[in-house]
Amino acid sequence: MAMALVSGAGRRLVRVTHPPTSSLSWSRGVNRLPRAFARSSAPKHVSWSRNVNTYRELVTRPVIFCTAVTVGSFGIASWLHSADRVARWRRQFVRRRRIGDSPIEQWWATIPTAKRVVGALAASYVAVFLMWKVPMLNGFMTRHFLHFPLSANLSQLVGSHFSHASLMHLGFNTMALWSFGVPMANAFGSEQFLAFSVGAGMSAGLLSQLHSVFTKSATPGLGASGVIMGLVGAFALTHQDAVIYVPFLPFIQGPAIAAFGLLMAVDVVGLALGWKVLGHAAHLGGQLFGLAYLFGGQSVLFTAPVNAFTEFRIRAGW
């Protein structure tokens, strides 16, 4: 099996200049943001002062939030999987709407579930990208869909994974999502795949947040590569014999596990040397989540809850 590997897009970092003082003002350097972001308002002044409130807002709350979102996502996925709710809803929908009467519905029925799920996720990236193009939404998008590490806005840890800085950025990430997402959605199933994507995104955002806080880096970031890197890691471990190649350069190829190791090495070096072009901390967050999930996390986050919910459903007579 040959898969396309897109590593050049990644999670983009948007450079913001700031004075080298004990505090940072986001108002400085906002004109250096990409054009789509420069028209919108930037987060207010954030203090670097070392006190309990600062670390609670910038460290403790993000850790709790990302953990809760990840565990909650897997809880919902486990419940739906154990109760077979998705299949039941589909049967009810088919009976109510009589799917198959129109050519569009017949075409939709021929699309595999994995491709539907991955396509819907890719469509959400496109929708958010188009929302950035609406001037009246710039303020809302900046507050919730661009990760400013020092803003203490938890919604940015979710929304930034749906945003992309350019059409090329969006194109490469959706291509990578389709390449690795479809086989993993087939392997995981739709519920587990979506929960995994949420977990990889939360891990990427959290590691990026913690790295920014402890290194006092105020560079905003955005992009779905944290999710994609998690999928690449899971794919490499479950499809080790697959051949991965670079798009447009098919002569550069290699086994999946070796390519994943190379990606991790590049991100570790980039993080150590302070490279600013890509969000290496976010990449590593997604990669580490993919590894942890395949090496024991799956049984804790998904398999055990599915078994527990199934047993509960049987005892309750549902």
pLDDT, tens only, 172-221: 999 999 999 999 999 999 999 999 999 999 999 999 999 988 888 778 88
At residue 284, the pLDDT reads 95
256 near 242, Cβ under 8 Å?
A: yes
Report the chain's mean pLDDT, rounded to a whole number. 80
pLDDT of amino acid 277: 78
Burial of 219 (0-12, 13-18, 19+ CB in 10 A): middle
Q: What's the confidence (pLDDT) of residue 207?
A: 95
Rounded to whole angstroms, what are the CA distances from 55 to 48, 52, 63, 265, 279? 10, 5, 11, 30, 22
**What is the pLDDT, as a whole number, of residue 87?**
58
Residue range 282-306: average pLDDT?
A: 95
User: What percent of the chain shows pLDDT beyond 90?
Assistant: 52
- Give the model's confidence band at 226: pLDDT under 50 very low, under 70 low, under 90 confident, else very high: very high
Instruction: Using alpha carbons, select from 290, 76, 298 the residue that is nearest to residue 204.
Output: 290
Residue percentage of the chain with pLDDT more than 70: 75
With a cut of 90, say whether residue 304 has pLDDT above it. yes
Query: Which has more confidence, 289 or 51?
Result: 289
- Rounded to 10 degrees, the C-alpha dihedral 258/259/265/271 comes to -160
Q: What pLDDT does residue 63 have? A: 96
**What was the pLDDT predicted at 30?**
33
Residue 144 tokens, joined: 């919730």
Q: Which class for 315: exposed (0-12), middle (13-18), buried (19 or more C-beta within 10 A)?
A: exposed
The answer on pLDDT for 253 being more than 90 is no
Q: Are 42 and 26 in contact (CB under 8 A)?
A: yes
What's residue 23's pLDDT?
29
Give Cα separations from 124 to 37, 118, 147 (angstroms). 19, 10, 18
- Mean pLDDT score, 216-229: 88
Give the per-residue pLDDT at 101: 63
Nearest by Cα to 14 from 285, 23, 230, 31? 31
Would you say residue 293 has pLDDT above 70?
yes
Query: What Rg do the C-alpha atoms of the chain give, in angstroms?
Result: 21
Is residue 17 pLDDT above 50, yes or no? no
- Strands 243-246, 221-222: parallel, antiparallel or unpaired by DSSP? unpaired
Name the DSSP class of 278: B
Res 78 pLDDT > 70: yes
pLDDT of residue 176: 93
Rounded (10°) CA dihedral 60, 62, 66, 72: 70
pLDDT of residue 4: 43
In this structure, of 67-71, 102-106, 292-296, the range with the lowest mean pLDDT score is: 102-106
What does the alpha-carbon distance between residue 234 and residue 292 come to, in Å, rounded to a whole number?
9
Q: Bigger pLDDT: 95 or 30?
A: 95
The pLDDT value given to residue 93: 59
pLDDT score of 298: 95
pLDDT attached to residue 98: 53
Residue 86 has what pLDDT?
Answer: 54
DSSP 56: I
What's the pLDDT at 313?
78
Beta strands (DSSP E) in 105-220 are none
